[in-house]
A and B are shown apart, each in its own frame.
Chain A
Amino acid sequence: AQTVTQSQPEMSVQEAETVTLSCTYDTSESDYYLFWYKQPPSRQMILVIRQEAYKQQNATENRFSVNFQKAAKSFSLKISDSQLGDAAMYFCAYRTNTGTASKLTFGTGTRLQVTL
C-alpha cells in the first residue's frame, strides 16, 4: 500500500519570503501522480499543483513549484513570495495511474502560517 508522509506539522514564513514544504511517499509503482492541495479555514480543498511521475520536469504554477525527486520518492512544494492568503493546511497526495485509479492517498498535512 502507498503511504504519504509529511514530517512538518507546522511551518511559518514571513510575507514575501520563500518556504518549502516536505513530502515523501512510498510506492512500488512507476506510474502515478502527485498532488499538493491547500485547505484554508473554509475547509475547501483546492488543488495547488500536480506532477506526473513520468515527467522529469518539475511542475510550476505561478508562485508554486515542486521539487520532484523520483528516486528519492520526494515531492516538496516551494512557495515563493509568500502572501497572507497562502496561510492554510497543505496536503500532499498520491494517486496511482493503474487499475481503477480512484483513490488519493493523503499525508497528514502541514499547517503554514504567514507572518507580516
Chain B
Amino acid sequence: NAGVMQNPRHLVRRRGQEARLRCSPMKGHSHVYWYRQLPEEGLKFMVYLQKENIIDESGMPKERFSAEFPKEGPSILRIQQVVRGDSAAYFCASSRRGVEGANVLTFGAGSRLTVL
C-alpha cells in the first residue's frame, strides 16, 4: 500500500523556466492538498483539490502558479517562469474524504525545487 508519491524529489530550474511537480495520492484517496515549505519555516497551505475540482486555492499566489487534479493521473502543481523565491520544498498530502471529522492528511516526502 504505497503512500503519497511525489516526483521528482529534486528539481533544478533556471529563472524563467517552468516547474511541474506531480503527486499521486494514496490508493482510495480522492482529496489532494499542496503545501509549500520555505527554508527554516513551517508548511504553508496552497491549494486543496478533489478530482477535477479546485476546492480552496486561497493559499496560491495569484500569478504563475496553478494546480490540477484530473480524473485520471496525478495531481500537478505547475509554476511558470520560476524565480529564485520559488525555491522551496513542496509537499503534497491526501485524504480519503474531506477533512471534516477525524480524517488526517497523509503527506508525501516532498519535492525540493531549486531555482538557479
Contacts and interface: CB of A to CB of B under 8 A. Distances in A.
B11 interface: no
A101 B98 contact: yes
Contacts of B101: 97
B48 A100 contact: yes
Interface residues of A, number: 26
A100 B43 contact: no
A78 interface: no
B99 A95 contact: yes
Contact of A103 (B40, B42, B48, B110): B48
15 contacts: A33-B102, A35-B104, A37-B107, A43-B109, A50-B102, A50-B104, A91-B42, A97-B100, A100-B98, A102-B45, A102-B48, A102-B56, A103-B45, A104-B43, A108-B42
